[in-house]
Structure formats: structure tokens, C-alpha cells
Amino acid sequence: MTTITSIEAIPYAIDYLKPLKFASGEVHAATHVLVRVTTSDGVVGIGDAVPRPFTYGETQDGIIAVIEKIFAPALIGTSLFARELHAARMERTVGNPAAKSSIDIAIWDAIGHTLQTNVSDLLGGYADSMRVSHMLGFDEPAAMVAEAQKMRDLYGISTFKVKVGRHPVELDVDVVRALREHFGSEITLYVDGNRGWSAAESARAWRMMQDLDLAFAEELNPADDVLGRRWLVGQVDAPYIADESATTPAEITRELLGGSATAISIKTARTGFTSSQRCLHLAEGLGVEVVMGNQIDTQLGSIATVTFGAAHRLTSRHAGELSNFLDMSDDLLTEPLQIQGGELPIRKGPGLGVEIDTDKLNHYRTDK
């Protein structure tokens, strides 16, 4: 029996080329945790833990602590293939979605290497690539239009998720209008508020953008504003995506059946592959749209997202948020990801199909 023999949590930091700004926070560097799962056969699987304290409460130090003190002791010695057991043991600890997900992805990567099979094939094998959606953070209209044009010219990207949620709402409405006027029908546009507006502000902003043909609205106001959120969803004539408010099957059920959302975002950085499949199958059963989201991922995180998204028909339907690594000054992979023609392909090798550059890891790790 192949067993898990060690789980490592390695902190590192890589600067962004510019700060990424949105309603719930601001990020200047990828202060992440590389997770390595080693098996009794000497196979190593990798995953990336992405702390987002302003969304899920996790920090880099907290992720390391919970992995080293709780999750590693609970999983070492178990069968590599006992994914239900792994999930059950980690679920004893409340929260910590990024820590749990990075371990789950690393285990899947190790399984793929053990079986000499690509993880996307193990998950479903539907497609070889996904169309890419690029996130545009807060800036002036001209600067955001210029960034979108650059993404079009260099990478062929034609779907853009616009961060909104500033005050007054006209700041963001003007940006979205500038994008639509510049590109016309050449691009797909949708907006993400990261809970920055109230229900009333969101409804007002949506009315002002009514003629801009937006594909989705995402988390414009907090789901905790229960009645306001339900009222708002009734005003929006596009699928309303629950993202950070619907991170588990139970939360998805609550938000969809309660009328607080009509679509969901799946992020492998917070639900790994195992729980992401549960969320996906629930969405399929309820008949709602699904988009693949991004937690401002590195290239390792982005390959995990496309590995899962391309594996399934429903998640392949829409462009996935797969390009935030373009905002990083460097990365850890031996072979950088390449977006071409607006698409990001999966890697064809076993596991996730990628490897870590040990020299870069040694340069950027912060524990030595």
C-alpha cells in the first residue's frame, strides 16, 4: 500500500508587478505556502496554499501551523488513495480552506504521478484547455482599458472580470462603460464587487450598467445582508454568482435555494479537487451556471484551476479566471505557463504536469 510519509509547508514570497486592488483588500506580493506531499514510493505531489486573511481569515503563518501541527499528523501513514478519509480528518478542524485545499491538490498530484496519469484525465478528461478570463483591478478608466487591450493583443483574451465596489458607484460604472465603448461586442464583460456595495448601491449601479450587456454579477453586496441580497438578486437580469459566500456544498445549497444567488464560482485554491467536484455536481443537479474563479493564484495555482476546469463539461462552458499570474514578477515553475489565442492548456504529463524550480524556491522561500 502506498502511504503518505510526509507533508511539508514551505513559505515563500514573490512580489507583484503592481498592487492588485479590490473592494475587500489589496495585495502587493504572493506570500503563499508551497505544500509537498511525499509518499512511501518516493513520489512528491505539490500544491499552493493562498492565504487571504480579508476573505477567509487565513495567514501564511496560520497555514503553516495548521498543516504542521494538525493536518500532517492526521494524514501521515494513511493510504495515498484514501481521499474520503483525508477529507474527513481535515474537516474535524473548522475553516482553513486554503491549507486543506493545497494538501488535497498535492495528494491528487502524487496520485497522478503514482499512476502515471494526468490529473485532468483522472477527474473527467473533458477538454485540453480553457478560455481565459482576465481580472481588472481598481484603476482609472483609461488605464483599465489599456490593460485590457494589452491582454487582447498579447494573449488573445476576450473575457474580462471587472472589480467594482468603490464609492461613489460612478467610479466603477464609468470603467465598465469605457471598456464596453472601446471594445464593443468583441469582449465578454462581468463585474465582481467583493461585497463592497450595499444592496441599494448595487441595484443603482446595475441599473446604470443595464445597457452594457454584462454576462454576470458577482458578490456585489454581502450575503450576510440576507433580505437585501435576495432583493438585489431579483433586480439583476444576469446570473448572480455566489463566490466567497458559497464555499462548501452546504453554503451553495443555502445561497441558491434561499434566492441569494443564481450561479456559483468554484476555486480550487479553497476547495481543492475533491470538494470542488462535490460543489460542481451539486450545481449540475440544481441546474445553475458555474465559473472557475481565481484566488490571485500563482502559475501552480492556475494550472490546478485549468486542470479541474478543463476536466468537466460545465466548468468548460465559460472562460476561467486563469491569468492573474501575469501580474507576478516571477514564479516557481520550471516551465512557465503560456496563454495563447485566449486559452490556457492543461499540462500533459503525469499529475499536474508541472515541476518546481528548486533554485527559485530556495531564492524566494522565507524560512531560511
Task: Please list the active-site residues.
Answer: 163, 192, 218, 243, 267, 295
Contacts of 270 (CB under 8 A, 6+ apart): 56, 97, 98, 101, 247, 295
Do 88 and 25 form a contact (C-beta atoms < 8 A)? no
Query: Diameter of the chain by CA atoms?
Result: 61
Q: DSSP letter for 219, please.
A: -
Geometric angle at alpha carbon 225, from 224 and 226, rounded to 5°: 85
Question: Radius of gyration over alpha carbons of the chain, in Å?
Answer: 20
Geometric angle at alpha carbon 240, from 299 and 316, rounded to 5°: 45
Half-sphere exposure of 58 (CA within 13 A, CB side): 26
In single-letter form, the type of residue at position 127 comes to A
**CA distances in angstroms from 47 to 253, 254, 272, 327, 357, listed in the order given:** 28, 29, 9, 20, 14
Distance CA 85, CA 18 (A): 41
CB atoms within 10 A of CB 174: 14
Distance CA 44, CA 11 (A): 17
**CA distances in angstroms from 314 to 83, 263, 284, 295, listed in the order given:** 23, 12, 8, 20
Whose grid coordinates read 471594445? 183
Q: 81: closest CA among 144, 194, 4?
A: 4
Q: 97: closest CA among 57, 46, 38?
A: 57
